[in-house]
Chains A and B, each alone.
Chain A
Amino acid sequence: MSDVSDKKPEPEQVVAGDNHWLTRPATIRKLWWMFGGVLALTVVAQFFIPIKGKFALDSVFAFGAWFGFGACVLMVIAARVLGWWLKRPEEYYAELGIEPPPQEKERSDD
């Protein structure tokens, strides 16, 4: 039970710019190239592995790729547009003085 106590949270241990290998620009560049390679591979593979569509539209070449991409772009844009209308400051419901304002929960550490 030693690692779960009710003691007060300690101050955050903030470490600035640790240059972790995964966050280096060179690594990120490589990851993008790899990701692009995999994406290309999934499309090229369709020349060798036929995808049997259920209906007319999904029998079109690389349906999964362009449909998935297009659907996501549309959903992000839809969220963005709806966001202008739906988004309110975090304190919105607290403004009336009935609901408590947003707050942070207590932190716990070993």
Chain B
Amino acid sequence: MIEFLPPGLIMLAGALLIALTRGALRSAVVLTVPLITLWVVWMIPDGVVATATYLDYQIQLVEGAPVRRLFATIFCIMAFVGGLYAYRTARGYELSAAFAYAAGAIGVCFAGDLITLFLFWELMAIFSTIIVFCGGTERSRAAGIRYAVIHLMGGVILKVGIESVMVNTGSIEIQAMRATDFGSWMVLLGILINAAAPPLSAWLADAYPESSPTGSVFLSAFTTKTAVLALILLFPGESVLIPIGLFMIFYGIIYALLENDARRILAYSIVNQVGFMVTAVGIGTETALNGAAAHAFAHIIYKALLFMSAGVVVYRTGLNRVSDLGGLFRTMPLTCICGIVGALAISSFPLTSGYTTKTLISEGAAEQGMVLVYYLLAAASAGVFLHAGIKFPWFVFFQKDSGLRPKDAPWNMGLAMVIFAAACIFIGVYPDPLYALLPYPEDANFYKPGKVLFYLQLLLFSGLAFFLMLPLMKRTLTLSLDLDWLYRRMLPATWRWFAGALDTIRDKAVKDLAAARRSLGDWFGTHWGSTGLFARSWPISTTALWIAALLAAYALVYYI
């Protein structure tokens, strides 16, 4: 029964068309398919509207619900604005992969059962890997392989969990559960790997910055946020998510503070922001879940905006290290201003989207009387301003005069940034349309003078701390160790040591064997060689003598 064509498949058809077309036709496909998909997304009513039979299971290809529609909406908007940003510079196969990747994300949004979820989940894994490969360098190839290994492993863990849940409960429905047994834990772990939760957070900052300037814009949006949606649908109120989310928040801040690569700073801050959402899902109240959904919506916009701004800088200068950049505000005013708007939004500055969405999460913690969580979230809000809100624009666009005078963004990239910058401010000033889309009724108003003043104090004094402590944040040409050390350094080094040890053993064995063979040969040679006792030729007279002696002995023995 298919009442509605799954919107994910429309996007997937778009991806195919992009691969098959060229020139103006391809541009038209890039700019229209997301809007058609968005229209279909908004046509889908609540409840299951498309089912199919797959391996004897009745799978639900499309199930409508407010939170699903919210995520699918922002994914479509992201595909449209990302497409606008990328369509003149990105290669056709990168655009095609990006749309197939978006199709996977939208498919997950409407998946009514775990099998459908898994199928679209893997679609995302495959095409996001291709986008990493599209970075086109040796490093992006290597990072893409590491990225693929982690995500395929995550997929296997998720699949084991799904099968176990199916066996235990007999149901493939997507419904709220708790991590209580093996199956549900495996499902949770599989999802958390895509959310870049510890211990496997390193893949994100490893892979995203190695993609092309346009690729990282798409990568920043889909994988981690579909994981957040999956957590909202499957594990609302699962308390283990609170410490995991808080860890992600502070991990992101510390690593971003240590980082020198502009896009890697932003990548670490994705982990930080997703940490807020994971914490909110763990709190699990209506306000907190609204906060997680609203924050994911706002986050996709401002994070893509930040990656667009960084992408323009990389596109124009070819430089990634902030120690090589600086002073770009002179010739890149539009990119600079849009970057600052994104930075203010991520810092939840009043009048930006972060303020009207992230504050919901803090409210959720306060409502539940979670004192420690509330204070840690407040400290983290200050930390976000520190590591992304000021650090990114300061080191890229101001800091020192690097002498670089690159041109500002091409018109399409500029337009994409302006659209998202406007969206950041719109949601910040007038959040009601977004609140109306949230899964639960929301009438929060954070524009009370006391509230605004509190946030201004918090953020502006964080700014003071940044500028006072600048000498402690001197950029260094370094990378920071993470658990990827295990598979990037320890494992290869161990293997190398092991292989070296095997070589040594083999060389020694070969040498010893050769010596043994030589000495054995010598011994044989002595006795059986051509001059040896047993092999050398004897004169016939000696033989006759010996035979005579033998016969004599025989005759003697016989006689006795």
Residues of A at the B interface (CB closer than 8 Å) are 1, 3-4, 9, 12-18, 20, 22-23, 35, 38-39, 42-43, 45-46, 49-52, 54-55, 57-58, 62-69, 71-73, 75-80, 82-83, 85-90, 92-93, 96, 98-100, 102-110
Supplied contacts A14-B403, A65-B458, A107-B319, 6 more A-B pairs, CB within 8 Å: A35-B464, A55-B375, A64-B457, A83-B478, A88-B480, A89-B478
The residue of chain A having its C-beta at the shortest distance from the C-beta of B135 within the complex is A105
Q: Are A12 and B374 closer than 8 Å at their CB atoms?
A: no
What are the 7 closest A-B residue pairs judged by CB atoms, nearest first? A107-B318, A64-B457, A72-B465, A100-B138, A71-B379, A79-B257, A68-B458
The answer for the CA separation of A92 and B327 in the assembled complex, in Å, is 29
User: Within the complex, what minimum Cβ distance (angstroms) separates A102 from chain B?
Assistant: 7
User: Within the complex, what minimum Cβ distance (angstroms) separates B399 from chain A?
Assistant: 10
Q: Are B401 and A88 closer than 8 Å at their CB atoms?
A: no
19 pairs, CB–CB < 8 Å, chain A vs chain B: A20-B401, A23-B327, A23-B401, A42-B453, A46-B457, A51-B450, A51-B451, A55-B374, A57-B375, A68-B382, A69-B461, A69-B462, A72-B465, A80-B472, A83-B480, A89-B479, A96-B493, A103-B138, A105-B213
> Given A4-B89, A64-B456 in contact, is the A87-B462 Cβ separation under 8 Å?
no
The residue of chain B having its C-beta at the shortest distance from the C-beta of A85 within the complex is B481
User: Within the complex, what minimum Cβ distance (angstroms) separates A47 from chain B?
Assistant: 11
The answer for the CA separation of A29 and B496 in the assembled complex, in Å, is 57
On chain A, the residues within 8 Å of B315 by CB distance are 108
The answer for the CA separation of A17 and B481 in the assembled complex, in Å, is 37
Which of A17, A72, A83, A105 is within 8 Å of B318, CB to CB?
A105
The answer for the CA separation of A16 and B318 in the assembled complex, in Å, is 20
User: Within the complex, what minimum Cβ distance (angstroms) separates A17 from chain B?
Assistant: 7
The answer for the CA separation of A88 and B466 in the assembled complex, in Å, is 24
Check B527 for interface membership: any CB of A closer than 8 A: no
- The B428-461 residues at the A interface (CB cut-off 8 A) are 449-451, 453-461
The residue of chain A having its C-beta at the shortest distance from the C-beta of B470 within the complex is A76
> Given A39-B464, A71-B382 in contact, is the A49-B254 Cβ separation under 8 Å?
no
The answer for the CA separation of A78 and B89 in the assembled complex, in Å, is 41
Which of B250, B258, B318, B451 is within 8 Å of A108, CB to CB?
B318
Binds A, one of B73-81, B154-162, B184-192, B405-413: B405-413
Which of B212, B213, B455, B489 is within 8 Å of A64, CB to CB?
B455
Check B176 for interface membership: any CB of A closer than 8 A: no
Check B276 for interface membership: any CB of A closer than 8 A: no
On chain B, the residues within 8 Å of A71 by CB distance are 378-379, 382-383, 462
Q: Is the interface of B mostly helix, strand, loop or mixed?
A: helix
User: Within the complex, what minimum Cβ distance (angstroms) separates B341 from chain A?
Assistant: 18
The answer for the CA separation of A17 and B450 in the assembled complex, in Å, is 44
On chain B, the residues within 8 Å of A110 by CB distance are 407, 410
The answer for the CA separation of A59 and B242 in the assembled complex, in Å, is 25
The residue of chain B having its C-beta at the shortest distance from the C-beta of A52 within the complex is B450
Which of B212, B366, B496 is within 8 Å of A54, CB to CB?
B366
Which of A51, A75, A98 is within 8 Å of B254, CB to CB?
A75
The residue of chain A having its C-beta at the shortest distance from the C-beta of B488 within the complex is A93
Q: Are B410 and A68 closer than 8 Å at their CB atoms?
A: no
The answer for the CA separation of A65 and B105 in the assembled complex, in Å, is 40
On chain B, the residues within 8 Å of A76 by CB distance are 257, 386, 465, 469, 472-473
User: Within the complex, what minimum Cβ distance (angstroms) separates B41 from chain A?
Assistant: 31
Which of B88, B317, B492 is within 8 Å of A98, CB to CB?
B492
Q: Are B137 and A105 closer than 8 Å at their CB atoms?
A: yes
Which of B89, B137, B478 is within 8 Å of A88, CB to CB?
B478
On chain A, the residues within 8 Å of B374 by CB distance are 54-55
Which of A1, A18, A62, A109 is within 8 Å of B407, CB to CB?
A109
On chain B, the residues within 8 Å of A98 by CB distance are 142, 492
User: Within the complex, what minimum Cβ distance (angstroms) separates A5 from chain B?
Assistant: 10
On chain A, the residues within 8 Å of B371 by CB distance are 55
User: Within the complex, what minimum Cβ distance (angstroms) separates A77 from chain B?
Assistant: 7
The residue of chain B having its C-beta at the shortest distance from the C-beta of A87 within the complex is B478
On chain B, the residues within 8 Å of A66 by CB distance are 461
Q: Are A104 and B318 closer than 8 Å at their CB atoms?
A: yes
Q: Are A93 and B330 closer than 8 Å at their CB atoms?
A: no
- The B479-495 residues at the A interface (CB cut-off 8 A) are 479-482, 488-489, 492-493
Q: Are A87 and B480 closer than 8 Å at their CB atoms?
A: yes
Q: Are A1 and B492 closer than 8 Å at their CB atoms?
A: no
Q: Are A105 and B320 closer than 8 Å at their CB atoms?
A: yes
Residue among B139, B250, B329, B455 facing the most chain A CB atoms (10 A cut-off): B139
